[in-house]
Amino acid sequence: MQTVLITGCSSGYGLATARHFHDRGWQVVATMRTPRQGVLPESDRIRLLALDVTQPDSISAAVDAAGPIDVLVNNAGIGVVGAFEAMPMATTREVFETNTFGVIAMTQAVVPTFRQRGAGTIVNVTSSVTLADMPLAAVYAASKAAIEAFTGSLAIELAHFGVRAALVEPGYCPATQFAANGGSRMAGLIPDEYRAFAAPIFEAFSRPAATTSVEDVAAAVWDAANDTRGRLRFPAGADAVALFDAKFGGR
């Protein structure tokens, strides 16, 4: 029986992905900053662990407690939308600490064991903001684009040892708590000078032509974890697939 460790399982993509893998017979190590009973089924194949990906001691403790795993899913992330001009550097650093450095630190924590075993898969969840230029998302897009470059390089580096790395690129998912979780972080990030520019953008997001569901993302993570063709990118959701096809020609 294979084991997956998933970060950021309290809601959204992480929670759906934990359920998806459990439903298919895997052992699931579901991590979140503050574990909450009841968010996942009671099962001897599910373990909840505390994990803050911005804290080295928390990473070490969670990886040690998890024991041997076959797949790491780096899903934990935070969002921010707003005019770059108004973005405090403290907010920029906060976003990068979780979305970029947290992913890199978690990956580095499991690579030695994967390399020694000659097997293992790392799935990094990014965003469709890496597939097309989107306004009011400069810092968020940069934090995710860094992981795209990181994963592409890592995939080549680790293939020598039989270890895989892949990307899942979700589209816009209204069902996640992106806005709610980032509310305080995003306060004041649309100054008066930007309101006329931002209004039609937010209006378009309120009635999207295509969206992504949390189940779309869970299925894409599953496909990435079980891929045998050496594929790097897995867009998730109809909108992400359309952007992916436009950028890569369906590759």
- CB contact set of 179 (below 8 Å; sequence gap of 6+): 79, 81, 186
In angstroms, the CA 251 to CA 249 distance is 6
In angstroms, the CA 31 to CA 34 distance is 8
Tokens coding 125: 């969840």
Q: Which among 131, 116, 104, 145 has a CA at the least distance from the CA of 7? A: 104
Q: Please tell me what DSSP assigns to residue 125.
A: E
Alpha carbons within 13 angstroms on the beta-carbon side of residue 207 total 4
Active site residue 140: yes
Return the ∠ at Cα 224 (arms to 222 and 227), rounded to 5°.
Answer: 105
Catalytic annotation, pick one of 13, 140, 172, 194: 140
In angstroms, the CA 222 to CA 132 distance is 24
Q: Which among 225, 233, 218, 217 has a CA at the least distance from the CA of 171? A: 217
Phi and psi angles of residue 127, each rounded to the nearest 5 degrees, phi first: -170, 155
**Site of tokens 């992106």:** 178
- Residue 140, CA distances (Å) to 81, 98, 129 in order: 7, 11, 8
Annotated catalytic residues are: 140
